[in-house]
Amino acid sequence: MFQPRKRGQFFGADAILAFLLVLFALVAAGVATESLDSQISTTEITHRLTERATDSLNQLIRTPGKPADWNLLTTVDNTTIDSLGLSHEANLLDPQKVARFFNLTNSTDGFEQACVLLAIREPGYNFTLTLTYANNTVAYTTLYPAPVQSHIAASIERVAMLNHESVRARLTLWIEPIQ
């Protein structure tokens, strides 16, 4: 019996199916790579935020600042102060420095200066600091709004003494999305 030859057929059904499978695999690999890159980037940013938040909170509750009497200065900025610190000695907070710091950070200009002095000022970076007594009464808090869930954030807590009482110092540092 005579079987006609299939001449002139450039692609058979098997070749088209194989091409589609390879194309699908390449697209899936590209999507997976993009997702992995995004997760790695977010992890790196979160790690950097955690390091900065830790350094900033340690600076605040473990050092007196430079100069040590910065809270008595009329002008608080990076020309008069090298660093902010809230304590007499490690983890023993000075009530006057704490009050001055929170008065400073509750104004826009003062907040910006505090960011500069805490070395956390990059575009979109913000922080909030809250001191809470053991009975969960808030002693002090910055008025800057706390981050929403969609922001990348890092929170660090330390325990210190304020007015002979234990307080929990919580610093949250976050990046707002740039629009």
Ranges of residues in the chain whose predicted pLDDT is under 70: 1-11, 37-38, 145-150, 177-179
Per-residue model confidence (pLDDT) at position 149: 61
Per-residue model confidence (pLDDT) at position 145: 64
Per-residue model confidence (pLDDT) at position 124: 75
DSSP string, 80-101: T-SEE--EEETTEE-HHHHHHH
Query: Is residue 3 exposed (0-12), middle (13-18) or buried (19+ Cβ within 10 Å)?
Result: exposed
Per-residue model confidence (pLDDT) at position 34: 76
**How many percent of the chain have pLDDT more than 70?**
88
Cα angle, residue 47 at apex, residues 104 and 76 outer, rounded to 5°: 15
- Rounded distance, CA 99 to CA 152, Å? 29
3-state secondary structure of 40: helix
> What is the amino acid identity at position 168?
R
Q: What pLDDT digit, counting tens, does each position of 7-46 carry?
A: 555 567 777 788 888 888 888 877 777 777 667 777 788 8
Per-residue model confidence (pLDDT) at position 69: 92
Q: Are 53 and 155 in contact (CB under 8 A)?
A: yes
- Rounded distance, CA 64 to CA 70, Å? 9
> What is the amino acid identity at position 6?
K
The DSSP H or E segment spanning 120 is: none
> What is the amino acid identity at position 101?
F
- Rounded distance, CA 62 to CA 84, Å? 10
Beta pairing class for 152-162 and 92-93 = parallel
